[in-house]
Structure 1
Amino acid sequence: PPGQQCRGPHDPRAPAAPEPAGCRPLGGRRMSLLPPGARGRPGAARSVPLPGGRPPGLVAASGALLHRGHKAERSAGPVRQRVQHAGMADWIGRWEEVFAGRAVLLAGHAFAQRATNGSNFHVMYGTAGEADPTQWRARTDASHEFSVHLAAERLQPFSRAHSVLIMRRGSLPLLNVRRWFALRDAVLDLVDRAHVDLVAVAWGPQGKALVTDLACRGVQAIDVGRLLWSIHGGELLRSSRGPP
């Protein structure tokens, strides 16, 4: 207006530019796919729009430590463990809300790392020197075995879900999908026949394409990435190794 000083775009007093339409996640904040403490590691920046609430890790128990900066790093070990446990519980609880009351179809191989001693690299690229194609089947079988247990016992983060369905053993290959459209159609058929509310996909790079395709067809789908492995992977590896 006349007589008022102009402010440049970098002036901190200048009003913030309006956010473009479509940039704000529907329903609230964005939440990390990885547990608290893992967000600083490479590949931890992936996030998905989820219902409102505080970001993961910003729980009451850890609020005091968040304002101390580097002093939090020197906090006592037991205190830090309690804070991390509280943050993990809050993070899992928010994922429970996502699946609460819904019929969920779990597609993919969320626990393939069980057959590679926790190595995600060997899941994605195989083991150096191995030429036996059965190595891929071993990974999918290991994942399917625990997926059946997860669905039957309604383990976290599906304890509040209406139901959890999984595809039959061998329905989806691990990688190198050449029959992608046929597999996509098989998932769509399951959604129609079983009245699935939400498809949770943990299927590597091709899983992202599947989620996008399903969403464009009006099917609710979400790429959960390594969510299930982050929750249960450590326990699975400890149980497979046995007592020291």
Structure 2
Amino acid sequence: MTKYYGAKKALEDTTLRCPKKDFTAVLGPPGAGKTTLLRCAAGLDRPTSGTVSIAGQNITDMNEAALDVLRSERVSYVFSSRNLLPSLTVAENLTLPLRLTKRSAPPSLVIDLVRRAGLSEHLDSMPTDLCQSRQQLVAVVRAMITSPAVILADDPARGLDPRSAGEVLDLLASYVREHDGNVLLASHDPMVAAYADQTVLLKSGRVVREPGFPAGKAALERAVHLAVWEARDPF
């Protein structure tokens, strides 16, 4: 897949395959093309060349109406900026995707997700009453509540302290383990690889390490030795 914005090449011959029930971390420095990759995967942007398939379905040539249905039923997106509606309570934000699509979720699933995220006592609160980490947990649960096939997460732990970041990443990892979903997460922080099943390294719009690069504890051990991404080239 290749993606241009005008004359600027954001992705160059980028190929990524995510097996079913898999947590894939796409790592790279700022400007590597991570967000562009996620936006193309969600159908928010169209690749200049190449194709995007989700659960065996080619979405590249879908019209906007079909893409809207896809994103409401099969794909959820977690933004680093959270994108919660400040005029709605936490409970209303969580269930907004269900109300918009006139769908329901098993009560047991909702209760379990809310409990895991530590939000049981905050359902009547407004988003602005919560700290940043709790707001991001609301955004993650909102993405899970429709039981999508794929969750795309754009640096969801950015700006959080290590403990809070771990809560967000562990919640996403639990979706793969317990709900047979897929998570594709992009971040500049190599520490997130500790939660992934596979890790892909992206630089200047190109994959420089294919899947198979260490994940889990092995990636965490390697990440400790990596220099600051913006200051040095560890690849």
For Structure 1 versus Structure 2, the TM-score category normalised by the shorter chain is 0.3 to 0.5
Normalised TM-score (structure 2): 0.32
Larger radius of gyration: 1
- Where is the strand percentage greater, Structure 1 or Structure 2? 2
Normalised TM-score (structure 1): 0.31
- Where is the helix percentage greater, Structure 1 or Structure 2? 1
